Structure formats: C-alpha cells, structure tokens
Chain A
Amino acid sequence: GEDVEQSLFLSVREGDSSVINCTYTDSSSTYLYWYKQEPGAGLQLLTYIFSNMDMKQDQRLTVLLNKKDKHLSLRIADTQTGDSAIYFCAESEGGYNKLIFGAGTRLAVHP
C-alpha cells in the first residue's frame, strides 16, 4: 500500500536553513503537500507541488521533487523560532484530496 516516510526530528539554529525530507511510494500521486501543525492547532497547508514540477519556491519555502527517487523535500530559509512545529508530508490519492500523511517531522529551532 501507499506509504510516506519522514525523519521524526530536526533541530536547527535560528537563522540557518532547515531541510525536511520525505519519501513516498505512490507514483500516481498528482500533488504532494507540506502541512504545518503547531501545538494545539489544526493542520495548515504550507505549500504543495504538482507532480510534473521539479521545484516550487514560495518566499522562504522551497520544495524539491525528485519523481524518479520518489523524494520530496522542504527547505525553510532563515529559520525562525516561529517555525517550530511538526511538518507533515502528504501525497494525494484517488484524484481527490484523500491524503496519505507521513508521521511528521518535529522541527525545533534554538537560538
């Protein structure tokens, strides 16, 4: 079945770049997503990338997609303490927003 894998924890210094990695299995996924969850809050869509793209940039966020290796990454430039959260990678299935999520990467930003 479909599976999305992420590393569970990342610690970075404030001002550095953060790179969160994800691998997925469903090559038919049309869209791949990054969601952010802050403590006690719901899921917020950060960005998504269409499967025929290699890269998408949105302000401090850069998404890279390697379809051959089924690898997705999220780079956050100039990481701030407000970026501390859990980041979920997700792939879509079935032509609608049925999302298969990874376990989430907890990003900790320290001074």
Chain B
Amino acid sequence: GAGVSQSPSNKVTEKGKDVELRCDPISGHTALYWYRQSLGQGLEFLIYFQGNSAPDKSGLPSDRFSAERTGGSVSTLTIQRTQQEDSAVYLCASSPPGVTEAFFGQGTRLTVV
C-alpha cells in the first residue's frame, strides 16, 4: 500500500495480558516513530527508530513497553502485562531521509479491560 499500515486497527485485551502492535512503514522510509494518543495525556512521543536502531527511547512509559524494528522496515511495539492506563490509540509514523514530514498511520486503538 501507499501509506503507513498498522495492525490490528482495534485490540481489546484483558488486564495483565501481553499485546503486540505492528507497523508497516512506507517503503524506503528510514525513520519510524511510535506515538500514543490518550484522553488524559494527549499525543506523546514513545520511540524513534533510524534503520533498526532506536537512538531515542525516552518516551517509553515503563519497562513493560518495548519496540523493535527489523530489516529497516516493520516495527512491533510490545506491551507486557497490560494495565488499564495503557488504553489509548497507538500511532506509527515514518519519514524518508532528509524530509521534514512524518506520515502517520491510522493507529491501533487498544482497550484494556
């Protein structure tokens, strides 16, 4: 596809379970970002990848959150032992080298019950 693709679009999980959220960036985009949008906190930066490495993980809220990127392409955000406060829309964005615009996916809405 032409845009950033995220899956699943919706995920409902029980408190304490682990979840994996997937992001397929636009082909050729070397930079990839994860953000979280929640009612209480607004839009928050989580992590930035350049290629497969993550030079900025400063936004990850706790050690229950981790992310990886393989092949300079797909990224997975994993949340372990989910809590109700993890309920939010998780947005992925990517950008090509030297470009100021970040292209956002539609997001994954995570609900922890």
Q: Which A residue sits closest to B103, measured CB to CB?
A: A45
Q: Which residues of B contact A (CB under 8 A)?
A: 31, 33, 35, 42-45, 48, 50, 56, 91, 93, 95, 100-107
A96–B53 alpha-carbon span in the complex (Å): 14
Which A residues touch B48, using CB under 8 A? 94, 96-98
Are B91 and A97 within 8 A (Cβ)? no
Give Cα distance in the complex from A61 to B95, angstroms.
23
CA distance A2 to B50 in the complex (A): 23
> How many residues on chain A are close to B (CB under 8 Å)?
20
CA of A21 to CA of B44, assembled, Å: 20
Q: Is A24 an interface residue (CB 8 A)?
A: no
Inter-subunit contact A48/B101 (CB<8 Å): yes
Could you pull out 14 A-B pairs where Cβ atoms are within 8 angstroms? A31-B100, A42-B105, A42-B107, A43-B104, A44-B104, A45-B101, A88-B43, A97-B100, A98-B45, A98-B48, A98-B56, A99-B43, A100-B45, A103-B42
A43 to B89, CA, bound (A): 12
Q: Are B106 and A41 in contact (CB under 8 A)?
A: yes
Q: Which 6 A-B pairs have the closest CB atoms?
A: A101-B43, A43-B104, A97-B102, A42-B104, A42-B106, A103-B42
* Beta-carbon contact of B101 and A96 below 8 Å: no
Do A97 and B42 touch across chains, with their CB atoms under 8 A apart?
A: no
- Interface contact B91-A43, CB-CB below 8 Å: yes
Chain B nearest CB, measured from A105 CB (Å): 12
Given contacts A42-B91, A42-B107, A43-B91, contact A99 B42 (CB under 8 A): no
